[in-house]
Amino acid sequence: MATDFDSWIMQPAVPGVEQSPVFGIFALLMKVDVRKLTFAELQDWFATRRHPAFRSKQVHEWLWKKSATSFADMSNLSIALRNELSEAFEIKAITVAEWQKSSDRTIKTAFKLCDGPVVEGVLIPTTSRMTACISSQAGCSLTCKFCATGKLKLLRNLDAAEIYDQVAIIRKQSETQYGIPLSNIVYMGMGEPLLNYKNVLESVQKITSPDGLGMSPQRITVSTAGIGKMIRKLGDDEVKFNLALSLHAANDEKRSQIMPINESNNLDEMAASLRYFYDKTGTRPTLEYIIFKDFNDSLEDAAQLERFVRRVPSKVNIIEYNPTGDGLFERATETQLDLFSNYLEKKGVIVNIRKSRGRDIDAACGQLANKNKAAHHALKES
Q: Which residues bind ligand SF4 (CB under 6 A)?
A: 140, 142-144, 147, 149-150, 190-192, 225, 246
Whether 147 is a known active-site residue: answer: no
| Closer by beta carbon to ligand SF4, 151 or else 172 | 151
Going by C-alpha positions, the residue among 114, 113, 115 that lies closest to residue 135 is: 113
- What lies within 8 Å, CB to CB, of 150 at 6+ separation is 140, 142, 143, 144
- Segment holding 26, helix H or strand E: helix 21-29
What is the smallest separation between the CB atom of 336 and ligand SF4, expressed in angstroms?
Answer: 22
| Closer by beta carbon to ligand SF4, 91 or else 124 | 124
| Closer by beta carbon to ligand SF4, 74 or else 200 | 200
For residue 243, the cross-strand partners are 222
What is the smallest separation between the CB atom of 192 and ligand SF4, expressed in angstroms?
Answer: 4
| Closer by beta carbon to ligand SF4, 97 or else 147 | 147
What is the smallest separation between the CB atom of 120 and ligand SF4, expressed in angstroms?
Answer: 11
Identify the active-site residue in 140, 144, 147, 365.
365
Whether 114 is a known active-site residue: answer: no
Identify the active-site residue in 87, 120, 288, 381.
120
Find how far residue 88's CA is from the centre of its chain: 29
Question: Quick one: DSSP state of residue 4?
Answer: H
What is the smallest separation between the CB atom of 78 and ligand SF4, expressed in angstroms?
Answer: 45
Going by C-alpha positions, the residue among 191, 137, 140 that lies closest to residue 159 is: 137
| Closer by beta carbon to ligand SF4, 212 or else 366 | 366
Tell me how many degrees the CA angle 46-49-54 measures, rounded to the nearest 5: 35
| Rounded Cα–Cα distance for residues 314 and 350 (Å) | 8
Tell me how many degrees the CA angle 113-114-117 measures, rounded to the nearest 5: 40
| Rounded Cα–Cα distance for residues 352 and 286 (Å) | 10
What is the smallest separation between the CB atom of 150 and ligand SF4, expressed in angstroms?
Answer: 3
State the catalytic residues: 120, 365
